[in-house]
Structures are given as C-alpha cells and as structure tokens.
Amino acid sequence: MLERLRDPFGFGRPGFERHAKDFGDLPRLDGLRVLITGASGGLGQATRSACDALGATTFDASRSSGWDLTDPARVGALAEELGEVDVLVHNAGVLPTAYQETAEGLELALALNLVATHRLTRALPAKKVIWVSSGGGLTQSLEVEPMFSPPKPYDGVVQYARTKRAEIVLAKLWARERPNSCFSAMHPGWADTPGVSSSLPTFHKLTKGVLRTPEQGADTIVWLCGAQVETGKFWFDRSQADALPLPGVRSAAADEAALWARLESLL
C-alpha cells in the first residue's frame, strides 16, 4: 500500500519489481550487431552491458566515443563506418535546463532526441529500431511548430516532453515507411542516472528512494532487442502500452504528417 503511494504510476522500482514477477529470461542476442546511442553512461551503458552479456556485438555512439549526434556530418560518418546493424537503439537524449542551440540552429533537445534519430534511421539500415522515449512524452500532445520554435520563456521540461511524444509517433511513422523492419518506442520508467540527477535535481532528490536502477530501466530496451514484437507500438515493462492514456492529449494525423515532412526536409 505504502509502495503504491510512493510509486503511483509504477514507473519506479516498486513498479518494476511488481511487473518483473511475470518476466521470463531475456532472449539471447548471439550474432546480432547492436548500436546503442549514448551508451557511455546511464541507461545506454546498462543496455550495452546487458546486450554484451547476451552475446551481441555492441557499439556506442556518444560524444565520449567521438560521435556528437547533433552534428549531421557525424551521423553520416557513423552510418558509413558501421554499414548496417541488426538493432539500432536511439537512447541518447537530453533535457536541457536552459535554451541551447546546435551549430545547425536547432534547439538542443529537438536536435538530439528527434532530428538525429530520424537522420540515423534513414542513414543506417537496421532490422529493428528502438526509441527510448519517456513517460513525460505521455503528458504532451503532438505539436510540431512549438517544438521546432520553442516559446519563450524556454521550458526545458515541456520541450523535452514534446520531443519524447514525437519519438513515439516517429516509431509509428517509420513502421509505415518500412514495413519489413520493426520499429518500437518504449518508456524506461524512472531510473537513477546522471541525466536525471543533473537535469532534474529536485525530482531526483524527492524520488531517489524509489528510482529504478539503470539496469531495471534498461530491461525493456534489451528485451525489445531480441523479442519478436508487432512493429509501430509503444512498450513499458515488456508489455504493449497505451501511448495516449491521458484525457485531452492527442496525436492528430495532420500533425503526424507535418512532423514527418519537417524531419524529411532536414535530411
């Protein structure tokens, strides 16, 4: 009862432990080449370690390993170097605490969380593509123009959530574009990572006792790397989840088409 009060959405560790009672073994990944963006820390690093242990050959794309994904030239070079992979995990993400712009003139969260993932999906053939979205994305309707031109004063939490909503939509749109590959978006819950403690220090302080470990947050990412699932869906704790659970939150077809057109225009 107390746990339900401390973790009302099941996004924390108590929720994971409850849901994990129904989990089987993770699928083996022998022979698979898996690229995980942002695998130098946090959830990406935990995902990479788990994939390695399950037999995959893994690659990291982060600034620490020389790949700033907000630079379109580095995205192209990365795709050229790897040629193709079996699984592409779009994990690198940022929640900026203040407005920042890339050299290309895009707001930082938009550039890394969304535009870079679209470019890399286009440039690097993969049988499976996974977007690590966020529960925050569920709070926002898909709104393309405010995401590309964030209103002032800048609110990094809202901007981040808009990009995370758009990631869920993008998995669906890519599933239509490439019916022979599998595209998924997922929500890792709330995990204790460097990103959470630096971008959301108050949230981190208040929830620290119930946050998931990075390994628990990474579990569904790793599961999706090996599981046979329906393309274009949204996942949480190894189950398909409702991407529009809140009243009044929408993802209109016209906005989805506008999102695709904006991203394609940036290729």
Ligand X SMILES: NC(=O)c1ccc[n+]([C@@H]2O[C@H](COP(=O)([O-])OP(=O)(O)OC[C@H]3O[C@@H](n4cnc5c(N)ncnc54)[C@H](OP(=O)(O)O)[C@@H]3O)[C@@H](O)[C@H]2O)c1
CB of 34 or CB of 43, closer to ligand X: 43
Least distance (Å) from ligand X to the CB of residue 246? Answer: 16
Pairing status of strand 239-240 against strand 233-236: antiparallel
CB of 41 or CB of 232, closer to ligand X: 41
Least distance (Å) from ligand X to the CB of residue 208? Answer: 12
| Alpha helices (H) along the chain | 2-6, 13-20, 42-53, 72-82, 108-109, 116-123, 144-148, 156-177, 194-199, 201-207, 214-226, 253-265
- Residue entry with tokens 């274009």: 232
In terms of Cβ atoms closer than 10 Å to its own Cβ (0-12, 13-18, 19+), residue 5 is exposed
CB of 61 or CB of 222, closer to ligand X: 61
CB of 72 or CB of 217, closer to ligand X: 217
Candidate list 16, 67, 148, 160, residue with the active-site label: 160
Judged by the rule CB under 6 A, the positions of this chain that interact with ligand X are 37-38, 40-44, 61-64, 67-70, 91-94, 112, 132, 134, 188, 190-191, 193-196, 217
Q: Phi-psi category of 238—alpha, beta or left, where left has phi over 0 and alpha has psi -120 to 50?
A: left
Least distance (Å) from ligand X to the CB of residue 133? Answer: 7
d(CA 54, CA 209): 29
d(CA 235, CA 256): 20
Q: What is the DSSP letter of 200?
A: -
Least distance (Å) from ligand X to the CB of residue 14? Answer: 15
- Catalytic residue check, 160: yes
Residues assigned a catalytic role: 160
